[in-house]
């Protein structure tokens, strides 16, 4: 049933990782901002009695230098106090708050994880202003070319910089690094992992259109809808596919396939029709051959449309469909942790 439904979409065939990413850069997200020539950081605030003494919370200001310019933004590190080496999340969040309604920090610590997080607007604004934050450093007078990075690529670049810091911390387990985000930040998380192989796992929560959902024939949000809402998330070329999705030389399975052979986890919600859980699951199916080429199990599921309560964690692509709305919930986090714990020894 699923393969028949996919066949009706007439998706472009998968290519090499390099081929697929180049198409995604050129046609959807824009090319990534340059890797810094130098990265430095300063720990500005430390709270030692955090999570009832089970962790410390540190604010870090990180500065990147490139093309004779510099850019600084803050992020936060929640580190368990017990001796040991910890798997860790880099959470691209909507707010800088620790904890946050999308981030149950103490529970994550209780489950044995460190958490590095940042508020995305501390990197660049969530609007069409390309003179703000990182965008203002990248683009003179706020003007960009048709294939230059949109805001999603800039937020992904910031997650790369947080990983630069994480790689220097002995208490963080580099073999169990996870980037995650919800909605537009779920799109960002997928792009982050696709463009940085230091991430072993990625979780995309309710990211839907232009993220984890197949675009062709999708219910809910379309390219037209998302470009009307936030064309600045993407490169300017993406707008040529408004009401023209069947002529895209890619679809979102390219993004997930580019992460192979590492681990991808996609979370859907029953009433999040705008994101479209069926199309999110179809992406998992369509990307699966890229993982199988690496002798990995790709997406292992029943041959039917998703049902509430489905949890598919056997393969390198994981998926769940929970009850409820568009939200990064405690349930999503716990299912993600289950997926990580199931596969962390395979890295």
User: b/e string for 216-250 if b means 16 or more Cβ within 10 A?
Assistant: bbbebbbbeebbeebbbbbbbbbeebeeebeebeb
Q: How far is the CA of 299 from the CAs of 70, 286, 344, in angstroms?
A: 42, 9, 17
Which of 64, 117, 125, 183 is catalytic? The answer is 183
For the beta sheet containing 114-119, the strands, ordered from the edge strand earlier in sequence to the opposite edge, are: 38-50, 55-66, 69-80, 114-119, 86-93, 172-182, 201-205, 263-269, 317-322, 311-312
Q: Which residue, among 166, 157, 162, 90, has the nearest Cα to 124 in the 3D structure?
A: 157
Q: Which run of H or of E encompasses 154?
A: helix 151-166
Active-site residue flag, 268: no
Question: 332, 267 in Cβ contact below 8 A?
Answer: yes
Question: How far is 155 from 92, CA to CA, in rounded Å?
Answer: 8
Decide if 326 is catalytic: yes
Give the contacts of 264 (CB within 8 A, at least 6 positions apart).
190, 193, 201, 202, 204, 256, 284, 287, 316, 317, 318
Q: What residues are labeled active site?
A: 183, 326
């Amino acid at each position: 049933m699923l393969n028949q439904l996919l066949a009706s979409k007439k998706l472009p065939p998968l290519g090499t990782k390099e081929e697929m990413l180049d198409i995604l850069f050129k046609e959807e997200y824009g090319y990534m901002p340059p890797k810094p020539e130098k990265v430095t950081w300063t720990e500005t605030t430390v709270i030692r009695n955090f999570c009832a003494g089970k962790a410390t919370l540190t604010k870090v200001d990180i500065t990147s230098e490139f093309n004779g310019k510099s850019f600084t933004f803050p992020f936060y590190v929640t580190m368990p106090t017990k001796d040991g080496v910890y798997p860790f999340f880099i959470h691209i969040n909507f707010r800088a708050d620790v904890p946050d309604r999308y981030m149950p920090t103490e529970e994550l610590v209780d489950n044995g994880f460190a958490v590095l997080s940042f508020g995305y607007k501390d990197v660049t604004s969530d609007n069409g202003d390309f003179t703000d934050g990182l965008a203002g450093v990248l683009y003179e007078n706020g003007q960009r070319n048709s294939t230059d990075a949109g805001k999603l690529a800039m937020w992904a670049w910031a997650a790369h910089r947080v990983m630069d810091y994480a790689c220097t911390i002995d208490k963080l387990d580099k073999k169990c690094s996870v980037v995650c985000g919800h909605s537009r930040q779920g799109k960002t998380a997928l792009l982050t992992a696709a463009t940085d192989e230091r991430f072993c796992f990625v979780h995309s929560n309710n990211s839907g259109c232009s993220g984890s959902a197949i675009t062709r024939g999708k219910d809910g949000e379309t390219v037209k809808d998302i470009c009307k809402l936030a064309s600045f998330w993407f490169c300017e070329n993406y707008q040529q596919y408004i009401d023209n999705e069947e002529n895209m030389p890619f679809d979102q399975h390219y993004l997930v396939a580019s992460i192979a052979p590492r681990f991808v986890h996609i979370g859907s919600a029953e009433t999040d029709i705008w994101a479209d859980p069926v199309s999110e699951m179809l992406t998992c199916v369509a990307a699966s051959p890229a993982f199988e080429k690496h002798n990995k199990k790709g997406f292992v599921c029943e041959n039917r449309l998703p049902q509430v309560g489905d949890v598919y964690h056997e393969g390198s692509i994981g998926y769940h469909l929970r009850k409820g709305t568009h939200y990064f919930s405690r349930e999503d986090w716990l299912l993600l942790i289950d997926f990580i714990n199931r596969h962390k020894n395979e890295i």
